[in-house]
Amino acid sequence: MTMRKFLICTTAAILGFCATGNLTAQTKAETKLYNTVIAKGDLKNANKFLAKFPQSVYAPKVQRLKDSIVFHKLDANDVVAYMNFVEQNPKSYFTAAANTKIEQLNRSSISDAQAMEAALQCGISKESILGAKGAKNRNKEHILVILAPQNGSYALATLTQEGDNWVETSRLSEQVYTNDTELSGFALQGEPDVVTVNGKQYLFFSYTNSSSSTDKRSRIPNNNCELAVNLYSLDDNSIYNALFSGKMKDGILYGSTMESTQSGLMASAEQAYLLRTLKGMEHLKPYDKELFRTQETIAWWYENNPQNAGNLQFGIIPDNSELVQAFKANDQKEDVGQYTVAMFDICHNTVVAVFNKEDKVYSLALCQATPLSDKDLELNTFYGEKGNTLVLYYYQGKNAIKKRLNLGSKRMY
């Protein structure tokens, strides 16, 4: 069988054509030309059909035949030809296969160790380099170097080879992508990689924005965190981003994407790629209020009760919260008037939780950060007096401080 006959037979099998099934809906001229296209399997007749009957029910099948002919005629070693094919036919059935060829032909021969060595030879300090990657684009080798942020912006340096030496030919400064300026801890995640999106080469890299700070009063660490995923275009130096923002717990980031554009009709190919990447990351989970309810409840108490406040605000605790579980498990609870009181340590704090026996409501009455040294104030013990009064003992070194809290009026004195 000749190659021409093989192409015709293969195309007919793919299309699953049954000419008699659509005769009633199409004109005789349209059907006749369509049959000619299938019989001859050439570009001339395919282009003629698409020009004459662009809205035909047969048009998608003819377009696929045309794309097949063009794709299979491409030089198997010409990466630019495949890139042009994808650019001209972004929705073609053969685009995926073309992207695979582009990835194969654009695979860099430069190892990560060689990329790092070239960056150092160009005078870039080792301390500033977060990552270096060989990247081949349109038959030309490059080295891309990610540099640590300064004043809120990181940089991408491009190295090209001149003779036996590598030289820095461009440097792009890019502002760190964040929605929370308090998250100043920048860390590259994993190794940068070169990927193909719609026939074009991009450097993919991701980083987190986090904080090592701790609230001065509550001593609760700031576990807010953002993960930014990025694509850097080797063609025009543009950068595309997507951000996942939330709270970190046990290596899992609980939150949501911050992008208003989802991977639908309005999203660019680059944006759609980044959103799919985020969706596929196993360490990203939807925000779970229950996991962080204790931390948020304690933070609420501090926000609503200034230092040395006389009149306190109690925070309502849901029955299914971790605080209520700890309250029920505490074996040193004491009845004080119409309240049951428990003191226990949780989330870097010693807390006093109360249960109102009349309205059946749990409340967070008092918080005191657990001490780091004997110079810090420690909430140590309590007992009940007549009525709804609670006596509290604090210690600071060898000094004892006695205070009272009326659970009914919520007054501290």
Query: For residue 31, what is the enclosing H or E element?
Result: helix 28-40
337 CB-near residues (< 8 Å, 6+ apart): 384, 386, 387, 388, 389, 407, 408
pLDDT at 235: 92
Q: What is the CA radius of gyration of the chain?
A: 33
Condensed to tens digits (0 to 9), the pLDDT of residues 71-130 reads 999 999 999 999 999 999 999 999 999 999 999 999 999 999 999 999 999 999 999 999
Residue 160 to residues 129, 141, 202: CA-CA distances in angstroms? Answer: 17, 7, 16
Helix pair 3-15, 28-40: axis angle to 10 deg:
130
Asked if residue 193 has pLDDT above 90, the reply is yes
Q: Are 174 and 239 in contact (CB under 8 A)?
A: yes
pLDDT at 17: 39
Asked if residue 16 has pLDDT above 80, the reply is no
From CA 197, how far away is CA 82, in angstroms rounded?
A: 13
pLDDT at 265: 52
pLDDT at 8: 37
Residue 210 pLDDT grade (very low, low, confident, very high; cuts 50, 70, 90): very high
Asked if residue 318 has pLDDT above 90, the reply is yes
Asked if residue 400 has pLDDT above 50, the reply is yes
Residue 5 pLDDT grade (very low, low, confident, very high; cuts 50, 70, 90): very low
Residue 396 pLDDT grade (very low, low, confident, very high; cuts 50, 70, 90): very high
pLDDT at 259: 72
pLDDT at 387: 87
Condensed to tens digits (0 to 9), the pLDDT of residues 137-192 reads 998 999 999 999 999 999 999 999 998 899 999 999 999 999 999 999 999 999 99
Residue 312 to residues 185, 186, 220, 370, 392: CA-CA distances in angstroms? Answer: 35, 38, 20, 20, 15
pLDDT at 258: 79
State the maximum Cα–Cα separation within the chain, in Å, rounded to a whole number. Answer: 104
